[in-house]
C-alpha cells in the first residue's frame, strides 16, 4: 500500500522516467478514459479485483504511464467523476464484495485532480459478477486462471494480518493481567479447565498463537502489553463516547488494551448508563436492561474479531440517549451482507484471532453470535439490531426500544412448555404485531430465507405451534396471528381488529374509483396504482382483485402481468 505522501513523492519522479517504470506489485498508474464513463468504471472495477487478488495495493488514476515529464504524464481525472459512484460500482460489480477506499489529491497539471484507490487485502479469489477476474503478478494484471485460483485458495492464510509472527521473546510481550482477564472471560463461557490451567505460554501455544517459538499478532492483541500492542497494532484503538446529541458528547474514553481488558472496560462504561426495567413475575422481580448484556457482548466481540487492523480507524462505541452504535474498520468480509448475515456461512477476516477465541468459547465458528445478538433483543419484544455495511466500516445499531412485558412473558412460558422460539419465529411474531398479516415473500425477506424455507417456517408456526392461521390460496396465501397468541402477545388496550385488514373498506374504495374513472371515460387502474390507493402489497392487491372478480361482475381485467389494468364495465 502507498499513502498520499508516498504518491506525491513518486509523482516528482515522473520528470525523469515514465510511471510504468515506477510500478510494482502494490502500485499501478492508469490513464482515465474520458471518452466513455462506462469503460472508465469497468477499468476501476477490474483494477480493484486485480489488486485484491494480488494481496492489495494502490492504483493512481489520471496518469499516462508511458509519458515522461509531469506535464505530459499527469492528465488528471475530470471533476464530474463522483467517488461515491465509483465505490458503489465496485461494491455492486464484485463477488465477494470489495470496498476500496478512494482518496483525492490536487495537482497543478491536467484537470488538477488525481484519484487514488486503496485496495486492502481480503479473502481472495475475487471476480466480477460474471465470474471474470485478474490477479496482480509483479507489475501486470493477469487472467485469474484455474491454477491461480487454486494457488490463492491454498495461500489464503497469508492474507491474515493477525497470523504474522512478531519478533521478540513471547514472555516479554505478554501481560499477566491480560492473560488472567482472558482466562476469566473464557471460564464464564465454560471453556475446558485443562486448557485454562496451562501456563501463559502453554495456553497461547495451545490456542495456536505461537509458531516457531514466536508469538503471532493475534496473541499480542489477545494478551499483549500496551507497548507490544502499540508496536504491532499501531492503528488499533477503541473509543467510547457518551453522546449528548448527534455531534456532541459529554464523556469519552480511549484505549489500546488487550482484547479482554478492552471488552471489560467498554462494557463497564456502557452498563453504567444502561437503564433497568423491573418486571414482576409471580414472587420474583426481574431486572432487564435496555440493551441486553449478551447482545452487547456479541456485538463487541464481532467488532474486535472482524476489524481490519490495517485501516486507521477506531473500534467505536457511541452511546446516544435513544440508541447505541458499535462500529469497526473494514467492511463485511467474504460476500456477507446485512441481507444474508443471519444465514451466511461464517467468514473471518482474522482467522488466527477467531480460531483462538473459538477455542476459548468466546466466539462461535458456526455464526451463532449474530443469531444470539438478534435473539437477545427479540425475546424482549425489542427491535432487532440494524447492521450497516458502509464500505470502510461496519456499524451495528441497537435502538433503545421499550421492553414488551407480554412478549417476554410469552417467550418464557413457551420455553417452560418445551417450545424454544428460533430467531425466525421471533422475527415473524414481531412483524405480525406491527402488521395485520404476512405472506411468503415478506417472511423470506425478514428472516433472510429463500421462499421455500420461509413457507416451511410459516407452516410450522401454523400447524406445529398453533400461532398462525392461513388465508387465501396459491400466490395469494397469507398468514395472520390467531386470536389466543395475539391476545397473549399484545399490550393492554390492543384490539384484535387492529391487526386485521379491513378488506371490505378497501374493496369499496377501489370499486368507487373504478366506477368514477369509467364514468369519466378514463383508463382503469394497474396493480401498482391500486397498491397506492389501499397501501396493500402486491400479493394482497392480487388477492383482493381475485375476490372482486368473483363478487362483482362489472370488474374486468385487461392485459397480463405488470401490464394488466382493471376496469369497471
Find where cell 391487526 sits. 499
Give the Cβ contact number of residue 320 at 10 Å. Answer: 17
Give the Cβ contact number of residue 62 at 10 Å. Answer: 26
The region of weakest confidence among 153-167, 339-353, 358-372 is: 153-167
pLDDT tier at 493, thresholds 50, 70, 90 = low
Q: pLDDT, tens digit, for every residue of 206-220?
A: 999 999 999 999 999
pLDDT tier at 88, thresholds 50, 70, 90 = very high
Backbone CA torsion sign across 311, 317, 321, 323: positive
Q: What is the mean pLDDT of the chain?
A: 88
pLDDT at 321: 92
Phi then psi for 53, rounded to 5 degrees? -70, -25
Using DSSP, state whether 235 is helix, strand or coil: coil
Cα end-to-end distance, the chain, whole Å = 70
Q: pLDDT, tens digit, for every residue of 408-418?
A: 989 989 999 99
pLDDT tier at 159, thresholds 50, 70, 90 = low
Over residues 82-109, mean pLDDT: 93
pLDDT at 367: 62
What percent of the chain has pLDDT above 70? 93
Spatial CA neighbour of 371 closest among 407, 403, 343: 343
Backbone CA torsion sign across 489, 491, 493, 498: negative
Distance, in Å, from the CA atom of 66 to the CA atom of 73, rounded to the nearest integer, reads: 7
Q: pLDDT, tens digit, for every residue of 274-311?
A: 887 776 666 566 678 899 999 999 999 999 999 989 88
pLDDT at 124: 80
Please give the residue that has the higher pLDDT: either 414 or 534.
414
Over residues 10-15, mean pLDDT: 93
Residue 271 has pLDDT above 70, yes or no: yes
Give the Cβ contact number of residue 203 at 10 Å. Answer: 24
Phi then psi for 516, rounded to 5 degrees? -65, -40
Largest CA distance in the chain: 90
| Length of the chain (residues) | 569
Give the Cβ contact number of residue 340 at 10 Å. Answer: 12
125 preceded by a cis bond (ω within 30 of 0): yes
C-alpha cell at 425: 419465529
Over residues 90-118, mean pLDDT: 93
pLDDT at 157: 44
Over residues 370-397, mean pLDDT: 92
Please give the residue that has the higher pLDDT: either 332 or 238.
238
Residue 312 has pLDDT above 90, yes or no: no
Q: Which domains does the chain have, with CATH numbers?
A: 4-158 (3.30.950.30), 162-232 (no CATH), 238-387 (3.30.565.60), 405-499 (1.10.10.10), 503-568 (1.10.10.10)
pLDDT at 242: 95
Distance, in Å, from the CA atom of 400 to the CA atom of 272, rounded to the nearest integer, reads: 15
Residue 497 has pLDDT above 50, yes or no: no
Measured at the alpha carbon of residue 378, what is the angle toward residues 377 and 381, in degrees to the nearest 5?
Answer: 100
DSSP-assigned beta bridge partners for residue 280: 285
Give the Cβ contact number of residue 12 at 10 Å. Answer: 9
Give the Cβ contact number of residue 204 at 10 Å. Answer: 24
Q: Going by C-beta distance under 8 Å and a sequence separation of 6 or more, which residues neighbour residue 78?
A: 32, 34, 111, 113
Amino acid at each position: 500500500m502507498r499513502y498520499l505522501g508516498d504518491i506525491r513523492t513518486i509523482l516528482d519522479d515522473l520528470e525523469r522516467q515514465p510511471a510504468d517504470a515506477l510500478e510494482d506489485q502494490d502500485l499501478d498508474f492508469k490513464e482515465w478514459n474520458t471518452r466513455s464513463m462506462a469503460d472508465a468504471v469497468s477499468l476501476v472495477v477490474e483494477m480493484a479485483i486485480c489488486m485484491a487478488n494480488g494481496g492489495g495495493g494502490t492504483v493512481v488514476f489520471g496518469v499516462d504511464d508511458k509519458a515522461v515529464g509531469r506535464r505530459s504524464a499527469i492528465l488528471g481525472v475530470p471533476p464530474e467523476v463522483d467517488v461515491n459512484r465509483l465505490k458503489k460500482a465496485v461494491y455492486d460489480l464484485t463477488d465477494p464484495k470489495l470496498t476500496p477506499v478512494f482518496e483525492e489529491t490536487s495537482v497543478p497539471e491536467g484537470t488538477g485532480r488525481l484519484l487514488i484507490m486503496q485496495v486492502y487485502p481480503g479473502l481472495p479469489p475475487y471476480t466480477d459478477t460474471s465470474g471474470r477476474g485478474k490477479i496482480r503478478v509483479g507489475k501486470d494484471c493477469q487472467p485469474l486462471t484455474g491454477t491461480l485460483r487454486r494457488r490463492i485458495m491454498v495461500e489464503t492464510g497469508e492474507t491474515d494480518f493477525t497470523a504474522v509472527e512478531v519478533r521478540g521473546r513471547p514472555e516479554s510481550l505478554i501481560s499477566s493481567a491480560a492473560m488472567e482477564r482472558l482466562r476469566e472471560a473464557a471460564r464464564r463461557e465454560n471453556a475446558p479447565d485443562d486448557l485454562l490451567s496451562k501456563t501463559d505460554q502453554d495456553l497461547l501455544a495451545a490456542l495456536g498463537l505461537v509458531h516457531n517459538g514466536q508469538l503471532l499478532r493475534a496473541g499480542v492483541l489477545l494478551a499483549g502489553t500496551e507497548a507490544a500492542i502499540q508496536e504491532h497494532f499501531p492503528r488499533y484503538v477503541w473509543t467510547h463516547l457518551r453522546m449528548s446529541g448527534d455531534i456532541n458528547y459529554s464523556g469519552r474514553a480511549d484505549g489500546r488494551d488487550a482484547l479482554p481488558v478492552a471488552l471489560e472496560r467498554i462494557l463497564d462504561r456502557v452498563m453504567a448508563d444502561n437503564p433497568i426495567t423491573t418486571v414482576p413475575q409471580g414472587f420474583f422481580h426481574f431486572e432487564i436492561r435496555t440493551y441486553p448484556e449478551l447482545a452487547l457482548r456479541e456485538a463487541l466481540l464481532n467488532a474486535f474479531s472482524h476489524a481490519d487492523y490495517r485501516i486507521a480507524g477506531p473500534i467505536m462505541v457511541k452511546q446516544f440517549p435513544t440508541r447505541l452504535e458499535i462500529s469497526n474498520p473494514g467492511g463485511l468480509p467474504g460476500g456477507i451482507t446485512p441481507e444474508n448475515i443471519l444465514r451466511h456461512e461464517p467468514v473471518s477476516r482474522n482467522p488466527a484471532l477467531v480460531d483462538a477465541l473459538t477455542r476459548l468459547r468466546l466466539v462461535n465458528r458456526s455464526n451463532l453470535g449474530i443469531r444470539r445478538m438478534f435473539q437477545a433483543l427479540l425475546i424482549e419484544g425489542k427491535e432487532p439490531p440494524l447492521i450497516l455495511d458502509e464500505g470502510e466500516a461496519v456499524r451495528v445499531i441497537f435502538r433503545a426500544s421499550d421492553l414488551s412485558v407480554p412478549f417476554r412473558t410469552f417467550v418464557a412460558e413457551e420455553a417452560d412448555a418445551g417450545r424454544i422460539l428460533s430467531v425466525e419465529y421471533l422475527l415473524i411474531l414481531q412483524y405480525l404485531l406491527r402488521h395485520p398479516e404476512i405472506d411468503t415473500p415478506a417472511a423470506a425477506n425478514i428472516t433472510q430465507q429463500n421462499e421455500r424455507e420461509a413457507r416451511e417456517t410459516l407452516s410450522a408456526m401454523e400447524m406445529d405451534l398453533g400461532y398462525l392461521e392461513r388465508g387465501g390460496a396459491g400466490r395469494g396465501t397469507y398468514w395472520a396471528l390467531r386470536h389466543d397468541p395475539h391476545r397473549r402477545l399484545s399490550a393492554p388496550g390492543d384490539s384484535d381488529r387492529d391487526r386485521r385488514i379491513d378488506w371490505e373498506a378497501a374493496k369499496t374504495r377501489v370499486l368507487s374509483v373504478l366506477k368514477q374513472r369509467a364514468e369519466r371515460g378514463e383508463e382503469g387502474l394497474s396493480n401498482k396504482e391500486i397498491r397506492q390507493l389501499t397501501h396493500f402489497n402486491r400479493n394482497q392487491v392480487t388477492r383482493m382483485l381475485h375476490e372482486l372478480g368473483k363478487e362483482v361482475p362489472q370488474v374486468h381485467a385487461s392485459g397480463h402481468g405488470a401490464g394488466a389494468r382493471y376496469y369497471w364495465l
